[in-house]
Structure 1
């Protein structure tokens, strides 16, 4: 069912001439925050410090997959006027909606675990704030950022884009003073593993890059920013702008991810303590200078604040679409914040908790991706904008690769392969 729902940004853009491409960019950059969150930092630094350039190919492949996935999500919202959770909620029976929401909520909790812990670690690195107090501060600040969204999506986008700029500088700065091995980078483009540990890291990197909550949310962001239209020319214009939006946003996010892995591979191999974010930050300061260490910490803090805000936004959209209820923002924030605070309060290893959370996210991807591909391929849902054969085949291959990687992880872990 198609319905028109114009958000704050869509009213602004709807009357623009087709040439106003730049004015139509933005939603994908908000979704891209999910691709540079603290979970990415943990997974990428662990992979680079522990295995050098071996897993560069994972990031390149994951980012290429993400472009396809995020475009399909935005396309669903623009063409149908429904978010992915709404489309699923409309088609599933009550029991199915509840079960589907349960797994999506688990994904949201894993997402917030990574983001709150990352922000708390950043506050500890920069100011010595205890981790539990840091998690509480991150949760409180994220509420303030979310409050901006109530004034209109464009304002929220601007805040997130500003934080994205800080994240980019924070995570890329160290690369300019790192001795890169270009031969090693080229070798890292050849797909391969070295035992169970590298498969676990690859699944973690994939879960940190192609994130379920970003798949659910992007359809909402695009719909609320642009609205939906019955005019095929208008829809074509919006989809063309969306392809640019997604391509540019994920080119930036992918570059930041690869930069983190290259930084760790070039400057931190064999350095004690680099299996934790805190240890990696200390090593970065020791080997690349205190200024680079502070910049890295600021980037990590911006990443935690931005990503937990976007994650909470996604959680609210998922709950509304699947359960048909909207709960107060504070309660929604607490639902996913409390598990992260428990982890911090118990003193569990924060970096390992981050990596495990990304593996959980990786297993949640098929539940978002497979329905997305199915819905966007149906003419009954998308009309003339249903996925063409080539795009449908590529999307199916992407889903199959993700499921295969997770199955391989299970098998190798079960048999204890080295």
Structure 2
């Protein structure tokens, strides 16, 4: 099998969940708990692979995204209205709020790489804007504007590979304790680690990636291959891209554990991690970490608005112009949030609550959809249903705990 077939729509998922939120969460996990939460990372990657395989298979067999399938299969008006409201709240409104964090995180990486240039300071003082956010938002617009799936996929493959190189190289420079990483595979919950575990899993297993993957798979393999061949290529794609995302997250966790755990140092964000590496491990580690943060922020700044647009298009049958307007509006909101140092805590809280409700519902819907007659010979087998049920149970526990903490 050619190398190109190893990377496809699953790379969009990796680009989506390896964003500033994941970098911050993995950094805090490593800084505060060392390697003790590696098991939670392994679980989250495994659960993601199970769900994303179902989403990709649904897209390939039906030729439609998750939103389209949701609209066709959920016919009861009250249930459909509730589902639509949750998707819009969790995916569209939520991604608008998160987009500010994506651009802010990418800006932190750019600042660590190139510092406060005089022309940037002058422009910021004159306009009041975060110039890095504007420039990076413009790059996201350029990538998405032509609407060519192949171009978007290639851009994100490049960003994921660059992230992998940056973060894994940083980890190797810091010389991690591989025996401690192995010990962290055994499940344990250190004191005060519950919130971090929820965050680590919650930043990887997210509903909007299912919309993104199903639509991407339907687009990539529509009318181009036989279904068995497309499913074979999709499986190779998932086995390559999703674990690669887990390796990137592990590299960040490991770097933070080496730099901070047991040293009595405090870390507030991923930017702190990049800057703190220089006195410990040299300037190369700082630059690599900062470059990885920049690539992570930019990749999520492309995928978050795209996922929201896919979800809304499937549910509401948007035209091509409306589809473009959706992702463009989300990028503009993100630039505004990042530029004016807004802290949309209420919106993000609202989105997190909606995500907590939506994730097990979407997981249940996926199980229903991939077992429906429309899947014919490509329905779930017994093992896939068992794994799906296990992930559903985990999402219910995760969502219940998240909602309890949100309202407590």
Fold shared, TM-score > 0.5 on shorter chain: yes
Offset of 1:386 from its aligned partner? 0.7
Is the 2:20–2:106 contact (alpha carbons within 8 Å) kept by the matching residues of 1? yes
Residue 333, structure 1, aligned to residue 319, structure 2: no
Structure 1 residues 170-181: aligned runs within 5 Å? 170-181=166-177
How many angstroms does 1:370 deviate by?
2.1
Greater shift after overlay, 39-48 or 365-374? Answer: 365-374
* CA distance in structure 2 between the aligned counterparts of 1:25 and 1:98, rounded to whole angstroms: 31
Match of 1:236 in 2: 228
Distance of aligned partners of 1:55 and 1:357 in 2 relative to their CA distance in 1, 3 Å threshold: farther
Could you say if the C-alpha distance between residues 294 and 117 of structure 1 is closer, same or farther in structure 2, counting changes exceeding 3 Å? Answer: same
Shift of 1:96: 3.8
Compared with structure 1, are the counterparts of its residues 239 and 21 closer, same or farther at alpha carbon in structure 2 (3 Å cutoff)?
A: farther
Alignment partner of 1:256 is 2:222: no
Q: CA deviation at 1:337?
A: 4.4
- Which residue of structure 2 aligns with residue 370 of structure 1? 364
Structure 1 segment 102-181 matched on structure 2, within 5 A: 102-103=88-89, 104-126=91-113, 127-128=115-116, 132-148=130-146, 150=147, 152-181=148-177
CA distance in 1, matches of 2:100, 2:185: 30
User: Distance between the aligned counterparts of 1:358 and 1:293, measured in 2?
Assistant: 32
- Separation (CA, whole Å) in 1 of partners of 2:344 and 2:273: 14
TM-score, normalised with respect to structure 1: 0.83
User: 1:202 is matched with which residue?
Assistant: 197
Cα deviation for residue 86 of structure 1 reads: 0.7
Tell which deviates more after alignment, 270-279 or 301-310. 270-279
Cα distance change on mapping 1:362 and 1:101 into 2, 3 Å = closer
Pair 1:400-2:393 in alignment: yes
Provide Cα deviations, 1:22-41, integer angstroms capped at 9, x if missing partner: 54742212222123222110
List runs of 5+ in structure 1 lacking aligned partners: 1-18
1:49 aligns with 2:31: yes
Asked whether the equivalents of residues 65 and 398 of structure 1 are also in contact (C-alpha less than 8 Å), the reply is yes
CA contact (8 A) 1:101 1:318 kept: yes
How many residues are matched? Answer: 388
Map Cα deviations across residues 281-338 of structure 1 (whole Å, 9 max, x no partner): 1112222211221121112111111221122211111111112223162553223642
Q: Does 1:222 align with 2:204?
A: no
Q: 1:56 to 1:355 in 2, by over 3 A?
A: farther
What is aligned with 1:83? Answer: 65
- Which SS does the other structure have where 1:303 is aligned? helix
Measure, in 2, the Cα distance between the counterparts of 1:39 and 1:356. Answer: 17
Matched, 1:294 2:270: no
Tell me the distance in 2 between the aligned counterparts of 1:21 and 1:52. Answer: 35
2:48 is the counterpart of 1:66: yes
Aligned with 1:180: secondary structure? Answer: coil
SS of equivalent residue, structure 2 residue 28: helix
SS at match of 1:373: helix
Residue aligning to 1:99: 85
CA contact 1:42–1:354 (8 Å) conserved in 2: no
What RMSD in Å do the two structures reach over aligned CA positions? 2.9
